[in-house]
Amino acid sequence: SCAQHLQVERADGELARDAIALLGRDGLPHQELGRFVAAIVHQQYDLDNPNAEIFLDAASEDELLILGLQKTLMPNPAVENLVVMLRRAIIAEVAQTVELRDELQQLALAIGQYADRTGYALAAEEDEERLIATINESIQAQLMMGESQDGMIGSLIISAMYGALFHQRFAVQLGQWSLTDWPLALQPVMAASYYDRANEEAIKQNFDEKAEELCMDKVDVPQAWPAWSQLAFRAESSLKNVMASELGIATNNLPDTLRILVCGAQSGQRAMELARYLSDVEVIAVDESLANVAKGTRMASDMGVENIVFWPWSIAQRFVADGHQVHWIEVGRLPSPAMTEMSLASLVSEASLAGAVVHMHTAIGEQTSGDRHIRNLIAEHKLPATRTVLRQLRRMVLANPQDANWKELTQEDDFFSLGGCRDRWFRPQDGTQLKQLMAMVSNEVDWKLVKARDADGHSLATQPVQRQIQAEALGSEVQSLVGQGLSVYFCKRR
């Protein structure tokens, strides 16, 4: 928590050692250290200095850089550029010597993991793309000839730095080996680039939404976002305790197990934390992205969390239409305008029992001037949501990250992953859904505001907030709460 809030303004060996110690410790939510690690790397490599010299051999021995690549996403344009340069230097050497030196293997493997975490957002020049195409053809030929694993490991490492092995023409033949048949150092890259994707693809086949992906090129199929690996630590509790102590709601008549509906679970970390740390709940996590549904399902299975399911909206709507209800509704990322047949307000109304709690935030993210500019470009030129288009849009931003139009956008974690960019630009949150939901809960006959917190987590008096919500529902834009970043809890009266 402390590391997340630190500003790092100069290279500091002690901070670097702290970061290495945190990243080297299993079980911590390393994804939350991305900014901290990026800031240290930025200073260590003097990335603000256009004449700073970067040495490939020094980087290949840099423990902090390698751990950062293996375990985090570093939301920093200069650090992304450093990774792109190092990857280019590795492939340039391989092109000359026709082998991947042992000393460079660990760095190359770490870049492979990192590239996967970004959804292969890292830009590559044409000569790199040509060389990778040749390497992939060579791997295919080696597999057809029945060559041993050892003969192709170097080529697979290089290939994985540029694209998912699961997307290559030789993917089917890799399936003859299980993950544990590969050398230990290679297993994390093989899992991310091939085996995890294969598992998630199998999960997607269970849902009607999979039909939408069938006509896409493999590399254009959306990837899950956000990228997380470990749950954050939470004190174990029960939902009944939370309802009684935090919200002052009587829980005597509630059943032993309560049902939580998480709307817009976005890859499911928050939903999984509720399922893991609350002892008396079943969690239904709902997401517009089939990739997020598949990833959440796989992660829950890997972690042995059994009191949670991940569904697309269509199944959640059927579940509620069949008369099932829930005790707590958590509203995360809002549905996009593409969800034309979906009314969040109606779903919440039908799904909630008397006494149920609805928790939501009044701010809508993804609204920087850069986002708006890019969405206008997409609409104007009818751009498709392909990997090529997403990379071109990112390249336009990264060409001038200090530009007033782009500066705020490049501060956002989402920007550093193609999955995040795709969500922001092609499936933005629909503010109308939030307004309709707020209008519904403003009805004091049916709903009661039981708690409100500001952006810093401080409790606010509920009466003024309630008045603001009602004024807004009656059409007063002057007092709009949408965009104020409050966290509000409503209880259904009947």
Q: Which two tokens stand for residue 394?
A: 């990112």
Which among 115, 178, 113 has a CA at the least distance from the CA of 149?
A: 178
pLDDT at 475: 77
Number of Cβ within 10 Å of residue 314's Cβ equals 15
Asked if the bond preceding 464 is cis, omega within 30° of 0, the reply is: no
pTM, whole model, 2 decimals? 0.95
DSSP class of 262: E
Spatial contact of 178 and 187, defined as CB atoms under 8 Å apart = no
The partner residues of 357 in beta bridges, in order of sequence, read 328, 491
For 101, the token pair is 């030196």
Closest by Cα among 465, 456, 471 to 488: 465
One of 3.40.605.10, 3.40.50.150, 3.40.50.300, 3.90.1150.10 is the CATH number of 239-365+430-492, namely 3.40.50.150
Edge-to-edge strands, sheet with 326-331: 308-312, 281-287, 258-263, 326-331, 352-361, 487-492, 447-453
CA 16 – CA 29 distance, rounded (Å): 18
134-164 burial, b at 16+ Cβ within 10 Å, e below that, comes to ebbeebbebbeeeeeeeebbbbbbbbbbbbb
Contacts of 50 (CB under 8 A, 6+ apart): none
Q: For residues 53 and 56, give the distance between their C-alpha atoms in angstroms, rounded to a whole number.
A: 10
Q: Which residues contact 280 (CB under 8 A, 6 or more apart)?
A: 238, 239, 240, 256, 257, 258
Please, which residues bridge with residue 358 across strands?
329, 490
Rounded distance between C-alpha atoms, residue 52 and residue 476, angstroms: 55
Residue type, 473: A
Q: Is 490 left (phi over 0), alpha (psi -120 to 50) or beta?
A: beta
Dig out the tokens for 76 from the structure: 């920093």
Contacts by 339-348, CB closer than 8 A, 24 or more apart: 339/288, 339/313, 339/430, 342/313, 342/317, 343/433, 343/436, 344/263, 344/433, 344/434, 344/436, 344/437, 345/433, 345/436, 345/437, 345/439, 345/440, 347/263, 347/316, 347/317, 347/320, 348/263, 348/437, 348/440
Contact 203, 298 (CB under 8 A): yes
Tens digit of each residue's pLDDT (9 = 90 or more) over 326-361: 999 999 999 999 998 899 999 999 999 999 999 999
pLDDT of residue 252: 92
Which pairs count as long-range contacts for 179-186, CB under 8 Å and 24+ apart, including other chains?
A: 181/149, 182/149, 183/153, 185/105, 185/106, 185/109, 186/109, 186/153, 186/156, 186/157
Whole-number Å distance between alpha carbons of 73 and 348: 34
pLDDT value for 477:
65
- Judged by DSSP in three states, 48 sits in coil
In terms of Cα–Cα distance, which of 385, 478, 469, 401 is closest to 435?
469
φ and ψ at residue 356, rounded to 5 degrees: -70, 155
- The mean predicted confidence, pLDDT, of the chain is 95
* Contact between residue 429 and residue 451 where contact means Cβ atoms under 8 Å apart: no
Contacts of 16 (CB under 8 A, 6+ apart): 40, 44, 64
Distance, CA of 49 to chain centre: 31
Q: What CA–CA distance (Å, rounded) separates 174 from 153?
A: 12
Mean pLDDT by 10 residues, the chain (494 residues): 90 94 95 97 95 95 98 97 98 95 97 98 97 97 92 96 97 95 97 97 96 94 94 93 94 95 95 97 97 98 97 97 97 94 96 96 92 97 97 96 92 96 96 93 93 91 88 73 84 93
Q: Does an H or E element contain 327, and which? A: strand 326-331
DSSP for 275-326, please give it: HHHBTTEEEEEEES-HHHHHHHHHHHHHHT--SEEEEEHHHHHHHHHTT--E
29 near 233, Cβ under 8 Å?
yes
Residue 360 makes CB contacts below 8 A (sequence gap 6+) with 330, 331, 434, 437, 487, 488
Q: In sequence order, what DSSP letters do the residues of 73-85 get, joined into one string?
A: ----HHHHHHHHH
